[in-house]
Amino acid sequence: MAAPALLATLAPAKAATRAKPPRLRAGDTIGLIEPASASSEPFDITLVEEAMVAMGLKPKRGKHVLDRHGYLGGQDKDRAADVTAMFADPEVRAIMCVRGGWGSARLLPFVDWEVVRANPKMLIGFSDITALHMAIAAKGGAYTIHGPNGSSAWGKSSLESFKAVAFDGAMPLYKNPVASDDRLVQRRFRTQKLTGGKAQGRLLGGNLTVLTALAGTQYMPDFTGAILFLEDIDEAEYRIDRMLTQLGQAGVLSKLAGVVFGQCTNCRDPDGSGPGGGFTLSALLEQHIGSLGVPAYQGAWFGHIADQFSLPVGALAEIDADAGTLRLLESAVV
């Protein structure tokens, strides 16, 4: 009789009702947390605070920011306590993750999810922060923002995309920038269609490695009818193959309405699994995603790059794979 209960525990979480968080306004307080890896030195946090001030916000450090436990930004329970405290703090309007790395998944069992659900707020970040985005989606928290971490460069394009979603409540069309190269045809910043067409669905996704590691846990949301977006860094082709295979066999890919694969930075095996030695990334995406028969494209402008889109996790969007665009169909904030 124990087996069915175990299976129920490991099954992906069903879709939960999600609230929209409040938009940011000049003068708002934004909480700073380090749920993953530790920052190298205090000046790293100073730079993040200065970036928040430059946006017109008032930064507030979590109690355990600048803690260190091995390569992590403090003990798991302490990092989780900072997450819970920032959601509970009435002064804090939104929460910015300082950096990624590794460790966000370790703190998930220690977060007070009732507090998270009761206090809708934007949580902002990417890479390892995918674990928090997915857990909040699975647990019925508010929409979150897959965008730059606090320690990111915050170039003009990143800042404009973030402000449009988080401050203005806009419904932008996400389309790659046009390169200024002196070439007969554009080569940089290009998207590539895997399967044409349009579809609508909730945006769910983030870092491929982190998301795949949540499969089979209570922190994996239901992807039925979703538009899955993915990115990664420093992953050889065979590992991408392995992770996409796992998502397919876990039943995630077959549920999707569409797929957008962003940037995969330095995703090539130096030992020869690239062109001439094995499958390319494009070939793998064609095998695992192009075969789904849903609108899909690759090369969108998000991931481990200097500037990137801010994508609201949980918001309704439309994919146009022929045009290589995403368009929000609702504001992500109130």
Residues 140-167: what's their mean pLDDT? 97
Q: How far apart are CA 270 and CA 200, in angstroms?
A: 38
Q: What is the pTM of this model?
A: 0.93
Q: 304 an active-site residue?
A: yes
Q: How far apart are CA 144 and CA 137, in angstroms?
A: 8
Q: 160 an active-site residue?
A: no
The pLDDT value recorded for residue 183 is 82
Give the model's confidence band at 208: pLDDT under 50 very low, under 70 low, under 90 confident, else very high.
Answer: very high
Residues 239-243: what's their mean pLDDT? 97
Considering the candidates 39, 104, 127, 161, report the single residue annotated as catalytic.
127
Q: How far apart are CA 90 and CA 110, in angstroms?
A: 21
pLDDT exceeds cutoff 80 at 164: yes
Mind listing the pLDDT tens digit for each residue in 261-306? 999 999 987 766 555 568 999 999 999 999 999 999 999 999 999 9
The pLDDT value recorded for residue 186 is 82
Q: 161 an active-site residue?
A: no
CB 186 within 8 A of CB 281: no
CB 39 within 8 A of CB 73: yes
Rounded to the nearest integer, the mean pLDDT of the chain is 93
The pLDDT value recorded for residue 236 is 94
Considering the candidates 133, 146, 288, 304, report the single residue annotated as catalytic.
304
Do the strands 296-298 and 122-125 form a parallel or antiparallel pair, or are they unpaired? unpaired
pLDDT exceeds cutoff 80 at 210: yes
Q: Which residues pair with 198 in a beta bridge?
A: 320
Residues 247-253: what's their mean pLDDT? 98
Cα three-residue angle 78-80-81, rounded to 5 degrees: 60
The pLDDT value recorded for residue 272 is 60
